[in-house]
Amino acid sequence: MPAPRIAVGPAGTRDYVRNAVREGGGELVDPADAEGLVWTDVNDPEGLSEILSRYDAIRWVQLPWAGVEPYAEAGIFDHERLWTCGKGVYAEPVAEHALALTLAGLREMKRWARAESWGPEAGISLVRGRVTIFGGGAITRMLLRLLAPLECEVTVVRRHPEPMEGASEVISFGRRFESLKGADAVILALALTPETRGLITDVELEVMEPHAWLVNVARGEHVVTEDLLVALRDDVIGGAALDVTDPEPLPEGHPLWELPNCLITPHVANTEDMAQPLLSARISENVRRFGAGEPLIGRVDPELGY
């Protein structure tokens, strides 16, 4: 069986991506000779569109990150090609970071880290607590495993309310307000789509418990920033722990930085050092599968855009 002919782009892509193609049994070729393409620019749908319009023999495109909304919004996905992304690749480090943010928030670590004198007791234990997770993908599945030793009662809110191992209940978005009441932590781990943009507004924040923390490891645009800022200033909720923000990067001097009940990390739930071995393994496996005619991992639904 001939090796699958795979191109890598754009120019400047790291060598480990090409090495991963080779490890999967692929032959590195120019786009003009390719039947598959690994495209690594996070935000250049125009560049990808140009290549695909010139070389229509490309039947498969691998996008190495999980969030592909710039490509969905540009209307680049079609039914003529196979599309795959990094869906599920980074679940372990991102879920780990989500748990770290949740514990740090409930335990008020930001306040203690900035303190210069002994203070009054504060903090909430997550053991046997209640957690709501928005999203039913690989990050949530990993989070459910990490939360299991804490014996948490976990409600998952997802598009299709199918049972998930480790979840006490899985419900649809139509019932999302039920899941906010009583939760100690509300974690966002879902794809950004037109339906989920602005998911958390002042309405949802008012429904949450006064002690609850909002944790976002998905996309900043899931949350209406001005509404969150007001809620944090007025102690409507306990706090927010954000690895993603809107806008992003969060500008210096933005009021969220100074709030004692807002913990921010600069989109580091998955760093490049963490990503390289995980992404390399995914690319190699999909190249192997493509060459063997087997189903690919991380398929993108052109209709849903993720």
Q: Which residues are catalytic?
A: 219, 248, 267
Cα–Cα distance between 27 and 2 in angstroms, integer?
9
Contact 297, 78 (CB under 8 A): no
Q: 9 forms bridges with which residues in the sheet?
A: 39
Of 79, 126, 90, residue with least CA distance to 107: 126
Q: What's the order of all strands across the beta sheet hosting 130-134? A: 169-171, 153-157, 130-134, 185-188, 213-216, 239-242, 262-264
Amino acid at the residue 185? A
